[in-house]
Every structure is written in C-alpha cells, then in structure tokens.
Homo-oligomer: A and B are copies of this chain.
Amino acid sequence: MIEACICTIGDEILIGQIVDSNSAQISKELNSIGVKINTIISIGDEYNQIVSTLQELVQKFQIVIVTGGLGPTKDDITKKALAELTGASGYIFSIEQYKYIEEIFTRRRIPVSDLNRDQAMVPDSCNVIPNKKGTAPGMVFSIKSNKKSLLFSLPGVPYEMENLLPSVEEIISSEFNLESISHKTIATYGIPESTLAEFLNDWEDNLPKDIKLAYLPNPAIGIRLRLSVYNGNSEESRKRVKLYAQELKSLLTEELYYGEDFDTLESVVSKKLRENGYQISVAESCTGGRISSLITSIPGSSQVYNGGIVSYSNHVKVSSLNVKEETIKNHGAVSKQCAQEMAEGAKKIFNSDFAIATTGIAGPTGGTEEKPVGTIWIAVAGPSRTYSMEARFFGDRERNIIRFSSEALNFTRKIIQKELKANTLTSKQYNR
C-alpha cells in the first residue's frame, strides 16, 4: 500500500489563526484512489525547518504533498526551499501559468503586478501543474532517493488547491500501481456515542479482522459510523464493505440512520422533498437563519424551498407569522404553542407543504429556572397536522445554535417520512 504524507506550511496554522482544512480535502481525495495518508504535519514559515522537514519526509514517504507558502507575499518562502531541496540550478518562467495569471487580472479589470508575474517563475527541477483558478502554479518534483518518490507543491488557498487535485491524482495513478481502500459511512443522528457503541457491541465483535468500524461524532451531522477495508482486491472489498453497511443499516433502522458517506441532514431532507415534489418553508427564532441557510446550501434548493422568516423579536413573531399575542403572553415565546403557531404561520404565508419552526434560548443570557439556556421547542407543520418536540442542550451559544438546527432538520426528516406514508400525500407527486 503506497503511503503518503501531507505537509502544510504557514505560521498562521501554528498560531491557530486558520484551521487547516486543506489536509482533510487532500486526504479524502487521495484515499479514494487508494493512497493511504500515514501522517499530516504542519510547520511554520521558517526556511530551515521547511528544508529539513521535507528532506526527512521524502526519505520516509513515496508521496509528499506540500501546501501553502506559495502566495505572492513576503511571508512565503516555500518555493526557495523546494529549489534547494531538489537541487534546482535556477528558475524558469512558466508561460502557461502566466497566461492564467493574465486572464485572472483581466477579468478583475486590474493590471498584473510584478509580484504576480514572479509567481510564474518556478525551479527548473519541477514540472508545472498549471493553476487556472489562481496565480500560484502547482509543482511536482521527482526525488532521487532509495526508492522513487514524488513531491507535490500546491497553493494554500483551498479553492485553488482543490482545482489542482485531479491533476495530482492523475500523476500519482500513472506513476504508482495502487491498491484499493474501501470505506462506507453510515450517518446516524440522535443517539449518544456510548449508547450506540453498546448497541452495536456484539455485531462489531463479530466483524472480520480486516474490517474496521470507527465512530465519528459531529454536533451538526450526528455520529457517522465508518466501515473500512484496506488493501485487497478493490472490487471485492467494495462489495464486502457495502454488505456490512447494509447489515448496519438494518440494525439501526430509519429511526437512527439517515444517510451515507457525505450525506448531511439538510441534503437528505432536501432530497426527500425534491423526490416527492414538495416544498418547505422555515420560521426561525433562536436558529437565526441557519436552517434556511443549510437548506439553500444544497444546489437546486429553489425547487424545494421558497422562503423563510427569521422572527427574532416577539413583535415580528406576531406581525410577520401571525402568532397570537395571548400565546406569547400565556405560554412565553419558547413554548410548544408558539412554535406550532410559527410553523403554521410560515406554512400559510409561503403556501408550502411543510414548515419548520424553532424557538429557544441559545444563550449566553436569557435562560430561566424552568427554561434554561439550551432549551428549544421545534414544530413542523405538515400536510395532515402539526408536530412538535422539546429538546435541551448544554453547549455555548455557537454550539447550541448548531444542535438546535440539526435537531430540527432530523425531526423534519422523520415527519416527512411519517406523512409520506399517508396516501393523501404520496398521491400529490403525481398531480405535479
């Protein structure tokens, strides 16, 4: 199994000013073509540390992917380090990359600066991987050591880096003969990790030795269960992983699992609505627009989502969603009654088949004895009736808003399923 190392360069990572999302992206992609990431390492913009670290890595690994340190500005010294490391005799001007640099600046209606022109200069020891989306070219160096190894250098801007990955994969696939790695992930929501682990204990114990089960908790997505088979025949291991994934699903039932691989609650809700020709609207208080934002992040959401209201103040709940003033006076804004009237108001105003409503206390202030910070009421108005639930979380403001939104989307997912079972509904898709 070919193993790779990812090395991200930049002080901004070491002082925590940015999160290194590139490594996850690269790992995901390389994994899918059968390259196992052994180590991810982040170092600073120090010339000597870069050279010595990379020297070590190209001895240890057949594939080394370097990102960052290629920008036009003074804090970027990676290119110099790579030239030394790979014994370049000088720099050459990449006409192809310069063409893209010019295009970008023409589009932005500004002249190409000297700094950007210099970005087309590369060590003569590399082959250029042209960067159509940005100014810094990708580079690949083949290192002469005990065994063949390739060092790739990619820009640190995620969007540009991602656009170079396909070329990187192409080069790797042609240079090495790769074994397979098969993963299958089942997404669950609404059950604590330990409870899930005990529930699956016996099943996990009986898994074949070469199949690995991993638990990946995430406040927005829930707990994803990942089944992995490393090496072995690709076709066969893919089949086997699929098989065990099926077993897992039937154990969990639709109550607990909602999707596969990179599905999210919003992508699943969106898919269910689209497949059945339904539209949804949203009335949000404590989630402040996050639920609408999640649903509309899915391409083609205009088919399933037509509008939403963020009714942050009580006044707006009454004026824009027709919540009764007495309801708020008698039960408070964070109540079953208010949530239901919000959902019914949105469903009517936007003339949608379903409507989600949230009202709760995200914190840090606003909590009371019987309604502490982290309390939320969720309502979903469906074609046949309105459903509601209460939940309580124990996080800070940011985390509570995330959990509130995911809880609401998961509740919506279940209600849509429930309502779909009613004939009144299923007939509808044929009428559209």
Contact = CB atoms under 8 A, between A and B. Distances in A.
A423 interface: no
A107 interface: yes
Contacts of A110: 192, 195
B39 A16 contact: no
A295 B305 contact: no
Given A198-B114, A364-B299, A215 B73 contact: yes
Interface in A176-235: 181, 183, 185, 192-195, 197-198, 204, 212-219, 224, 226, 228
Contacts of A312: 296, 301-302, 305-308
Contacts of A213: 74-75
Interface stretch (A59-67, A79-87, A269-277, A397-405): A397-405
A344 to B, nearest CB: 16
Contact of A204 (B23, B74, B218, B397): B74
Interface of A, secondary structure class, is: mixed
Interface residues of A, number: 108
Number of copies of this chain in the oligomer? 2
Interface in A291-338: 291-293, 295-297, 299-302, 305-313, 315-316, 319-320
A302 B313 contact: yes
Interface string A259-284: 00000000000000000000000101
Given A107-B394, A219-B159, A289 B310 contact: yes
Contacts of A215: 71, 73, 75
B25 A16 contact: yes
Contacts of A364: 299
B45 A214 contact: yes
B288 A296 contact: yes
Interface string A14-36: 11111111011111110100001
A270 to B, nearest CB: 12
Contacts of A41: 39-42
A204 B75 CA distance: 11
A37 interface: yes
Closest 7 CB pairs of A and B: A288-B296, A16-B28, A289-B292, A16-B27, A289-B289, A289-B293, A307-B316
Interface of A: 11-21, 23-29, 31, 36-45, 49, 71-75, 107-108, 110, 113-116, 133, 135, 157, 159, 181, 183, 185, 192-195, 197-198, 204, 212-219, 224, 226, 228, 282, 284, 287-293, 295-297, 299-302, 305-313, 315-316, 319-320, 349-350, 363-365, 394-399, 401
